Amino acid sequence: MTLVERLRDITLFAELDDEQLSWLAEVGRRVDVADGEVLFDDGEPARFFYVLLSGELLITRVVDGKEQLFSRHSARMAADQQLDDKPRAAHQFTGELPLLCDGDYVAKATAHGRTELMAYDKETFLEMVARFPQICRVLLPVLAWRIRSYEARAGRNAMLEGLGTLAAGLAHELNNPATAVVRAASELRCTVRDLVERTTERCALASPRERCMLQRARDRLPAASGGPPQRDAWDELAAAETSDLVIDWLSERGVAQAAEIGVTLVDHGFDVDALVELSAGLSDDTLDRAVGCLGACLLTSTLVEEVAEAGRRIESLVATAKAYTNLDRAPERDVDLREGLDATLTMQGAKLAGIRVHRDYADLPTIVAYPGELNQVWTNLIDNAADAMGDRGDLWIKAWAESEHVVVEIRDTGPGIPPERLALLFQPFYTTKDVGKGTGLGLHLSHDIVTHRHHGSIEVVSVPGDTRFTVRLPVGGLHL
């Protein structure tokens, strides 16, 4: 077959006459690609529109460090019966989208077996479209299908990334309270046994004076105290010195386990002078039993409070997770934006560990919105800010009311976005991240959620050290 005859078999060119096909044969360049050879790579500047004459191309992208197959273009499958929703013509050409967007290739194309193509540079491709309107009748539906396909995949990836963020955030935040529960429960088991033994012994031998000493000790404690006081303003060095003095004092009087009991007493505000006052008139044997029982009571109370506090923390995290995912709620409802912002920051806690987060929330009216979708917007913007700063810097989350809108501003101290890139940020498949680290659809989907789903606006301004994304949402509701 001549090249003209082979081009006639391409669905894109099926309506062209011999003269038009001859022009396409003359202005194009034949390309032969060996098995396993890369035709173009993800992130490489787009230079050619390719038409597949024979063979097969594997379209892949690197996601989370792993190369994933996104699509397969096959000359054979274009000729055979269609097996899925992919248009047959979509098998026969590639590279049109980045050329039309004046961007980079959004994936890698690798030959599977010997593959033969026609390559048309950007100027020729645009002239081709202008010369032959028949081509657009095939090109545009395929282009629309590809965008929908990529967006659907990105939506699934966004959902999985959201679940991954949720799981990672919960795992990170739950680790500390869960560890505290396990540790405190283990210690509590031994402490309760010790408390029972000491209490039994004390009850059998306690004198009126000893009982009076314990009552005075209990009276010294705050009425609602379940554990040691906070030490935000506590001088740790002074506390250590006090512990040494208390331990020495107890040891001199033959108190068993003086070190452990001494630390517990100091944690609850006792020093040597307090112990001297409380133990006035007690023998060393009586003091040993009384102080041992007091220490066990205080330690048990502390451990119980730790378990309770860890449980409250876990309960709070579960509530935060429900707020982030909006479980058991209608898809649209009255929304307090501060709740979603705080839930998102909590879920992103692990990634924001090295970043100083500043919150400035004014009094806001509630709005009717899709909270789960808005939380995905906040996740995308905060995640991008953290990446831009290299996980070091300052992040400001500000929200206020403005006329008939509520406004959320997310600002970071990253290197900024070059002016020539600002206009492209919300286009599909455009990303400023390194190859393999972004789909190029996060901001596009966020723009769609804000503008189409919520009838709001999203804008960005950026200079080095100050990048601000501003989201405006109408107070009046969705107006669907």
pLDDT in tens, 189-229: 666 666 655 665 555 555 666 666 666 665 655 443 445 55
Share of the chain above pLDDT 90, in %: 25
Select the highest-mean-pLDDT range: 132-136, 147-151, 186-190. 132-136
Q: Identify the pLDDT of residue 88.
A: 82
pLDDT range class, residue 53, cuts 50, 70, 90: very high
Amino acid code (one letter) for 309: E
In b/e form, how buried is each residue of 245-273, taking b as 16+ CB within 10 angstroms?
bbbebbeebebeebeebbbbbbbbebbbe
Examine the domain organization and report whether 13 and 117 are in the same domain: yes
Examine the domain organization and report whether 227 and 185 are in the same domain: yes
Q: Identify the pLDDT of residue 157.
A: 56
Q: Average the pLDDT over each of 95-109, 118-132, 143-157, 190-204 and give the range with the smallest value.
A: 190-204
pLDDT above 90: residue 429: no
Number of folded domains in the chain? 3
Domain that includes residue 235, residue range: 173-318
Do β-strands 29-33 and 93-94 pair in parallel, antiparallel, or remain unpaired? unpaired
Structural domain contains residue 108 = yes
Select the highest-mean-pLDDT range: 239-243, 245-249, 306-310, 331-335. 245-249
Tell me if 268 sits within 8 A of 221, measured CB to CB. yes
- Domain final residue, candidates 77, 99, 131: 131
Examine the domain organization and report whether 380 and 430 are in the same domain: yes
Structural domain contains residue 142 = no
Examine the domain organization and report whether 354 and 311 are in the same domain: no
Residue, of 444 and 457, whose pLDDT is higher: 457
What number is the average pLDDT over the span 268-282? 78
Examine the domain organization and report whether 230 and 273 are in the same domain: yes
Examine the domain organization and report whether 13 and 115 are in the same domain: yes
Mean pLDDT of the residues in the chain? 78
Q: Identify the pLDDT of residue 233.
A: 43
Examine the domain organization and report whether 276 and 373 are in the same domain: no
Q: Identify the pLDDT of residue 451.
A: 86
Q: Identify the pLDDT of residue 100.
A: 83
Tell me if 337 sits within 8 A of 408, measured CB to CB. yes
Structural domain contains residue 161 = no
Q: Identify the pLDDT of residue 224.
A: 37
Q: What is the DSSP letter of 45?
A: B
pLDDT in tens, 14-29: 899 999 999 999 999 9
Residue, of 184 and 267, whose pLDDT is higher: 267
Q: What is the C-alpha to C-alpha distance for residues 284 and 279, in angstroms, rounded to an integer? A: 9
130-to-31, 118, 136, 342, 375 alpha-carbon distances in Å = 24, 19, 9, 51, 43
Q: Identify the pLDDT of residue 137.
A: 87
Examine the domain organization and report whether 303 and 340 are in the same domain: no
Structural domain contains residue 137 = no
Whichever domain contains 61, its CATH number is: 2.60.120.10
Q: Identify the pLDDT of residue 29.
A: 94
473-to-329, 374, 460 alpha-carbon distances in Å = 21, 10, 15
Structural domain contains residue 327 = no
Q: Identify the pLDDT of residue 115.
A: 94
pLDDT in tens, 416-426: 988 888 877 77
The torsion angles phi and psi of 366, rounded to 5 degrees, stand at -75, 155
Structural domain contains residue 324 = no
pLDDT above 80: residue 385: yes
Structural domain contains residue 143 = no
What number is the average pLDDT over the span 65-77? 78
Examine the domain organization and report whether 343 and 282 are in the same domain: no
57-to-5, 12, 81, 107 alpha-carbon distances in Å = 22, 18, 18, 12
Q: Identify the pLDDT of residue 406.
A: 93
- Domain final residue, candidates 72, 101, 131: 131
Examine the domain organization and report whether 310 and 336 are in the same domain: no
Q: Identify the pLDDT of residue 54.
A: 92
pLDDT above 80: residue 118: yes
pLDDT above 80: residue 242: yes
Examine the domain organization and report whether 122 and 194 are in the same domain: no
Q: What is the C-alpha to C-alpha distance for residues 331 and 266, in angstroms, rounded to an integer? A: 53
pLDDT range class, residue 243, cuts 50, 70, 90: confident
Whichever domain contains 362, its CATH number is: 3.30.565.10
Examine the domain organization and report whether 281 and 339 are in the same domain: no
Residue, of 273 and 70, whose pLDDT is higher: 273
Q: What is the C-alpha to C-alpha distance for residues 302 and 299, in angstroms, rounded to an integer? A: 5
pLDDT in tens, 279-308: 776 666 677 777 777 777 777 777 777 776
Tell me if 375 sits within 8 A of 344, measured CB to CB. yes
Q: Which of 242, 256, 237, 246 lies closest to 278, judged by CA?
A: 246
The SS3 assignment for 246 reads: helix
Structural domain contains residue 152 = no
